[in-house]
Chains A and B, each alone.
Chain A
Amino acid sequence: MPLLEIKNLKLDFLSNGQKLRVIDDVSLTIGAGETVCLVGESGCGKTVTALSIAQLLPSPPAQYPAGEILLQKKDVLKMSKAELRSIRGGVVSYVFQEPGASLNPVVRIGSQLKEMLKLHRPKDASNTEVLRLLKLVGLSAPESRMKNYPFEMSGGMQQRVMIAIALAAQPKLLIADEPTTALDVTIQSQILELLRNLKREFKMALLLITHNLGIVGEMADRVAVMYAGQIVELAPALELLRRPLHPYTKALIESVPKLADTRRELAAIPGAVPSPGKFPPGCRFYPRCPSARPECATRMPDLAKFEDERWVRCLYAK
């Protein structure tokens, strides 16, 4: 039984009396202790998918016309406020892109951590536990750092604090939304290493959202590639990177320069990512697809099983 099972989820945003469908028929499972990467470009729906798991989108404008999000077999879309409060942080925790914007700027970081402990583990809400957590995430000089305000720390240190807060209640699933995008490469590799170690130590599942395929290669067990509100390919990481089936995945991999790459020209994808409300009919990648055929313009493909553990949303995948 998987830890998380998203089934045929649809999500609409209401704006000016109009319904914009931002997620369309997304299905995804995450097993206990597994690392799944959600990959895609801006506006593809990866962040709203992640935020839906703990019901963090305000409603309105968010509306779920169909689908289920089963977390430990219970549908979060049907949970009461009290139930939601206990799973937020308790079962699912988040780490976001901008640590500076996620931390409260006027509260010392030690107190912010303790707040989380008071809510989920009131018996352990002590300075000793705060210190233990800060040490766990590798913050140097935690004794003095716990009295710091967020602005007194670098981005990398702030992200470590965010991770400590997210881990405080020992969640089963950690959702990290572009956790290293705002950080420099050397700091990024510190944070990725930390996430890998913590995951192993606590046997936590990790849903990692990124646009960086290199990070997928280093972290993921399985990958879901999103485009225009849909999952277009789902596969074990290594197989997807070596033998992508969907033309979008293929194009995405070929469009990034790699170190010691000998190509003179990159294989760019023409056009731009469509925004919600402007998704084309039929296959959504059709207008930019190098191998599109007339049928693609009218028929929307399903996410179909291609072979063991591999799923692809393309009429002509091969």
Chain B
Amino acid sequence: MTLLDIVNLRVHYPVRSGLLGRPRNYVRAVDDVSFSIESGETLGLVGESGCGKTTLARAIVRLIKPTSGTIQFEGTDISKVSKKELCSLRRRFQMIFQDPYSSLNPRMTVGEIIKEPIAIHRLAPKGEPSDRRVGELLAAVGLEPAHAQRFPDEFSGGQRQRVGIARALAVSPKLIVCDEPVSALDVSVQAQIINLLKALQQTAQIAYLFIAHDLAVVEHMSSRIMVMYLGKIVELGVAKDIVSTPRHPYTQALISAVPVLDPETKRKKILLPGDVPSPIHPPAGCPFHTRCPIAQFPRCQAEVPTLREVIPGHWAACHFA
């Protein structure tokens, strides 16, 4: 069943000159993006900094109002609902943030942090969320019920991320948007959180939008992967196909750039020249043509490639895919 269906979503930020000046230009952070997430699945999202992945994540949970397009969540278009409706809908989708230090209120105990969403959504039978429920949630993320009395600064990064996960789970959501949930953690702790997220999905049938810049982590977590470049989806398909037979030259370069442990299995490196262009003035035609090793002119400079189904279930936005 389709849980989330996004059609032609755009988020453009105005670039103003001076304090009150008219917007001179727009940063096209998310530019005409369409995709869907099935219930209980994990869709991975990869891309480099500035490609729009965080903006997309925040637009989906409506922390940012999209410029245009629709976000259907369980049949309701949440891109246009009122604040009040949005508040009650948010029970169904939650978010886990990258930085476990700044995403927990340092003045609240862990117990208060976890009780807050339960109270807001009036999910406790007698009005007051119980300590027992908090204890259950803490146990579910691998912490101890006694931890509820403590403050965030008494915990390590990995433990704080567990608190963030417990807070998201408190309202039994159907979708959790995970924005780089393991990037700030030590390698040995990363695996704990990845395993925890996978186990929780098994028991509670939660769908994830899992964002990370580490392709191996995303592949491990996801059933499907979506690759973004300059605000657009350039490739979308089943995780293992994306990694084994990437169709878009950008995805091919991304995969070849991942450093490998064993030098004997070294892949051929595709070194991309230069940097990601500015999303204020994206290149005409294909946004990737300025760095693409297989670009052909004038076509790639003139014609914007559409995201098309190259083989069933595998989509790529390249003229030559």
Contacts and interface: CB of A to CB of B under 8 A. Distances in A.
Contact of B192 (A190, A259, A270): A270
B15 interface: no
B298 interface: no
A16 interface: no
A308 interface: no
Residue among B186, B194, B217, B271 with max Cβ neighbours from chain A (10 Å): B186
B66 to A, nearest CB: 25
A241 B261 contact: yes
Interface string A214-253: 1111100000000000000000011001100000000111
B119 to A, nearest CB: 30
A259 B243 contact: yes
A45 interface: no
Interface string A188-225: 11101100000000000000000111111110000000
Contacts of B92: none
A154 B261 contact: no
Contacts, number: 130
Contact of B260 (A190, A217, A264, A267): A217
B220 interface: yes
B260 A184 contact: no
Interface string B138-165: 0000000000000000001111000000
B321 interface: no
A292 B261 CA distance: 26
B122 to A, nearest CB: 36
Interface residues of A, number: 48
Given A189-B271, A257-B194, A251 B220 contact: no
Interface in B221-269: 240, 243-244, 253-263, 266, 269
Given A41-B186, A241-B262, A259 B255 contact: yes
Contacts of A154: 275-276
A157 B216 CA distance: 26
A252 B188 contact: yes
B188 A257 contact: no
A218 B188 contact: no
Nearest to A185: B257
A260 B266 CA distance: 13
A193 B271 contact: yes
Contact of B48 (A184, A215, A252, A267): A184
Contact of A217 (B49, B243, B262): B262
Interface in B170-220: 186-192, 194-195, 198, 213, 215-217, 219-220
B18 interface: no
Residue among B198, B220, B240 with max Cβ neighbours from chain A (10 Å): B220
A192 B271 CA distance: 11
Contact of A260 (B187, B244, B254, B257): B244
A237 B169 CA distance: 42
A42 interface: yes
A85 B48 CA distance: 39
Contact of B195 (A192, A214, A268): A268
Contacts of A187: 48, 275
Nearest to A212: B259
Interface in B276-310: 276
A189 B260 CA distance: 11
B219 A260 contact: yes
A185 B48 contact: yes
Given A186-B272, A257-B219, A215 B188 contact: no
Contact of B275 (A157, A255, A263, A269): A157
A17 to B, nearest CB: 23
Contact of A242 (B186, B213, B262, B269): B262
B216 A193 contact: no
Contacts of B253: 186
A251 B188 contact: yes
B21 interface: no
B312 interface: no
A185 B269 contact: no
Interface in A271-297: 272-273, 288
A214 B259 contact: yes
B125 interface: no
Contacts of A288: 188
A9 to B, nearest CB: 24
A83 interface: no
Contacts of B188: 41, 251-252, 255, 268-269, 273, 288
Contact of A186 (B217, B243, B254): B254
B165 to A, nearest CB: 15
Contacts of B260: 214, 217-218, 258-259
A41 B257 contact: no
B184 to A, nearest CB: 10
A261 interface: yes
A211 B188 CA distance: 10
Given A186-B253, A259-B243, A268-B188, A217 B271 contact: no
Per CB-CB distance, the 7 closest pairs between chain A and chain B, nearest first, are A214-B259, A268-B191, A184-B48, A257-B220, A255-B191, A266-B191, A269-B188
Interface of B: 48-49, 156-159, 186-192, 194-195, 198, 213, 215-217, 219-220, 240, 243-244, 253-263, 266, 269, 271-272, 274-276
Given A189-B269, A218-B263, A269-B188, 14 more contacts: A41-B188, A42-B186, A156-B275, A185-B258, A187-B48, A187-B275, A190-B272, A192-B259, A217-B262, A252-B188, A258-B216, A258-B260, A269-B192, A272-B186
Interface of A: 41-42, 140, 154, 156-157, 184-190, 192-193, 211-218, 237-238, 241-242, 251-253, 255-261, 263-270, 272-273, 288
